[in-house]
């Protein structure tokens, strides 16, 4: 039996993987990791928490969406022995420009304050009105997802968005290149920003497996769960080709 660790994204929960899990065969065991079980004071700390979890219960592949993908990529940097295969969904490898890093950290501090001061329901409404989530807002799963998000832990997510800000996390483009032979990077074809990143990393590291999911935007586990399941199966199948 193959075993996979699944990490959801910012504001998410383990429920975000339910439709993907329903598409997977019973022969694939999944450790659906709540980010609240990790030390999300920084991406690095979260990766170390994940390392400890995987040392207790190893997995054949680590799958991360968005923030979960950044934690998975950080794990590959700090504990590569824990990552046999890596599947990154809608994941940014990091900001390299110093001015952009400062601006993003400042913006995420503002968001962290708003999460607590305005309340999580107001924050969720504002968060999903950004252009990144345009296709998701039109998806049938959106309203149920938003209702789940509004019940989240504002204090936890406030700390996470500040501590795990891309402006404070080390960029991991080189890590992705170093682990290209065991990595898959995917994004929704309708997610212009992250589809561009997929094309960029493909040029940077041709050994990477890349995929654009037709008809999907940023929130792949909810917009395209069957495609996510197929990508997981494909990732596990690649283990057969290892020496």
Q: Which domain holds residue 117?
A: 98-162
Number of domains in the chain: 2
Co-location of 176 and 90 in the same domain: yes
pLDDT at 170 over 70: yes
Residues 64 and 122 both lie in one domain: no
Q: Are residues 130 and 228 in the same domain?
A: no
pLDDT, tens digit, 9 for 90 and up, residues 50-94: 999 999 999 999 999 999 999 999 999 999 999 999 999 999 999
Average pLDDT, the chain: 96
State if pTM tops 0.85. Answer: yes
Same-domain pairing of 119 and 35: no
Distance between CA atoms of 33 and 5, rounded to whole angstroms?
Answer: 7
The pLDDT of 194-198, averaged and rounded, is 97
Chain length of the chain: 243
Determine the pLDDT at residue 238.
84
Q: Which of 120, 143, 162 is the last residue of a domain?
A: 162
Rounded percentage of the chain residues whose pLDDT exceeds 70: 98
Q: For the chain, what is the total number of helices (H) and then of strands (E)? A: 12, 6
What's the distance, Cα to Cα, between the start and end of the chain in Å?
Answer: 19
Q: Which of 162, 187, 206 is the last residue of a domain?
A: 162
Same domain, 130 and 215: no
């Amino acid at each position: 039996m193959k075993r996979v660790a699944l990490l959801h994204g910012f504001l998410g929960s383990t429920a975000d993987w339910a439709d993907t899990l329903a598409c997977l065969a019973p022969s694939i065991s999944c450790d659906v990791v709540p980010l609240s079980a990790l030390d999300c004071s920084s991406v690095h700390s979260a990766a170390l928490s994940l390392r400890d979890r995987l040392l207790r219960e190893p997995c054949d592949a680590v799958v991360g969406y968005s923030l979960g993908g950044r934690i998975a990529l950080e794990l590959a940097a700090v504990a590569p022995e824990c990552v046999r295969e890596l599947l990154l969904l809608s994941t940014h490898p990091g900001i390299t420009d110093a001015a952009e890093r400062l601006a993003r950290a400042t913006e995420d501090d503002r968001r962290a304050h708003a999460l607590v001061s305005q309340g999580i329901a107001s924050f969720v409404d504002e968060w999903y009105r950004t252009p990144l989530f345009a296709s998701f807002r039109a998806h049938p799963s959106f309203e149920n997802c938003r209702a789940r998000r509004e019940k989240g832990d504002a204090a936890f997510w406030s700390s996470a968005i500040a501590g795990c800000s891309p402006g404070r996390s080390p960029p991991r483009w080189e890590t992705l290149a170093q682990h290209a032979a065991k990595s898959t990077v995917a994004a929704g074809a309708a997610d212009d920003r992250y589809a561009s990143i997929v094309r960029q990393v493909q040029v940077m590291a041709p050994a990477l497996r890349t995929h654009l999911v037709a008809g999907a935007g940023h929130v792949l586990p909810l917009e395209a769960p069957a495609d996510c399941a197929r990508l997981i199966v494909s990732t596990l199948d690649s283990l057969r080709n290892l020496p």
